[in-house]
Amino acid sequence: MPSHGTIILASASPRRTELMALAGIEFSVVPADINEEVLPGEKPSEHVMRLAREKADAVAATTRGRFFIGADTVVVLDERIMGKPVDDAEAYRMLSALSGRSHEVITGFSVFDKVSGIHLTRCVVTEVTFKELSEGEIRAYIATGCPMDKAGAYAMQGGAVHFIRSICGSYTNVIGLPMTELYETLSQLGALDVDRL
């Protein structure tokens, strides 16, 4: 799909890159390098939207192009953000906590039009329910190494696909980028040549 001006994805995530490509959007990847710590009193939705905008802005400041997309995804259980596990023990604790329960996956994304100076920032929430996990299932998954760079210690499109009982909301949001909402936002800013589809 042709784009009006260069679209830059400010993310190193291969999953987000795959989703953008599946949507037929022409883009380049320039990862952002920012501090991703949660601020005191910051709600999960506020956190992901702030980081998404900061990522888009950081890359826009040093990169040629017009439309810059930043995104951040968190797993939230009992209103607390579950980050990426630092070791196998923490991965085990996270997966045990998610077992048999519902949690939220929240992605914030921000599109910055460098020409007009407009930012459009949104967040999308998906409810995910896990089946009851046995100790053996959790340990076998941890042994694959997959949980270590994933928020909440799992990836739906990876080895945890059989953990998920149900999903309420955007499927692609759980992977890391709510593509319907992002597509609508890019179209709203005139970044996509939708008439040619």
- Catalytic pick from 72, 78, 113, 149? 72
Decide: 123 and 53 in contact? Cβ < 8 Å: no
- Catalytic residue flag (residue 195): no
Q: Output phi, psi for 8, to 5 deg.
A: -115, 125
* Size of the chain in residues: 197
Q: Who contacts 46 (Cβ-Cβ below 8 Å, separation ≥6)? A: none
Q: Which residues are catalytic?
A: 72
